[in-house]
Amino acid sequence: MKITILDDYQDVIRKLNCFELLKHQNVQILTKTEKDTAQLAIQLADTDILVLIRERTEITDELLSHLPRLKLISQTGKISNHLNLNTCTKHKVAVAEGVGSPIAPAELTWALLMNTVRQLPQAIEGMKKGKWQINIGNTVHGKTIGIWGYGKIGQKIAQYAKAFGANVLVWGSETSRKKAVEDGFYQAETKALFFQTADIITLHLRLTDKTQEIVKETDILMLKENAVLINTARAELIEKNGLENALRKGKKILAGVDVYPHEPIYDTNYELLKYDNVICTPHLGYVEQNGYELYFSKAFENVINYINGTPTNIANPEVLV
């Protein structure tokens, strides 16, 4: 069977230890993302099994209609809004779900938060230009860190905050707020108070129809002067151009951003890159050596098990009948 791995921007998948699982297979790795459905369908015309790197490519009804040979999609991480399970079932394509881990994204979030608060990238860049101590940052200690979404990642961020001597304020579902209180943290009474009270806000929600654009431009405009907004979850959680509009209006905040509506970004004139008070990283929350070994070993195991006639972790088993 022909196996294709999509969107390996860095061309690192073949260098992973777990890639040995596919050593006797016919594998094609695409390192450049193709946004045009017709062109992508041509590249995948003889593909039987597709391995996805998270949500980098959307799997649409139109695309699947052009891939009659496709039998299996093996997902790294959990199935998200890039893929509709019913649509895959309609085209008789099985979907094998992978595993996830909060460790790498939580650590990246904290690193981005610390760099944004202390403004380290700006200071480093200044020093490269022969300038000394061009800015003065802040500490996390004593600040109120607002966490929207108290799942596995949000809970880790809360513990990091506690270790650094910060206060934790949680917003989200009633269940998540109740859990936060049980863990000894504070819950916000309203979304408005959440945005008005926190010194630092970090987003940790899954992207669904309900959470799409859940953070409004008006929410961002409610932030304190010099407050910090961190988004390592999904760009679409924030209203389209909401952050950019707030910055254009002169809102004095700091932002750390790891996710974007359209990726990858190669445009050096991308708007968020122009702001001195915004730190941008190229979606690194998921990109980490140990995490990759975990995610891809499971995805490749699901591939081999399918080829051997013992499919595992199939989210739509009805297609196997």
Residue 80 has pLDDT above 90, yes or no: no
The predicted pLDDT at position 311 comes to 98
Q: What is the pTM of this model?
A: 0.93
Segment 141-148 mean pLDDT: 98
Q: Give the residue extent of every domain in the chain.
A: 2-100+289-320, 103-280
Tens digit of pLDDT for each residue in 245-271? 999 999 999 999 999 999 999 999 999
CA distance 204 to 211: 11
Residue 77 has pLDDT above 90, yes or no: no
The predicted pLDDT at position 81 comes to 86
Give me 198's structure tokens: 């926190």
Q: In what order do the strands lie in the sheet with 94-96?
A: 26-29, 2-5, 49-52, 72-75, 94-96
Confidence of residue 210 (pLDDT cuts 50, 70, 90): very high
Same CATH topology for 2-100+289-320 and 103-280: the answer is yes
DSSP H helical segments within 150-287, as ranges? Answer: 152-163, 174-182, 191-197, 217-221, 242-248
**Which of 3.40.50.620, 3.90.1150.10, 3.40.309.10, 3.40.50.720 is the CATH number of 103-280?**
3.40.50.720
Residue 142 has a CB neighbour count (10 Å cut-off) of 11
Does domain 2-100+289-320 correspond to CATH entry 3.30.70.580? no
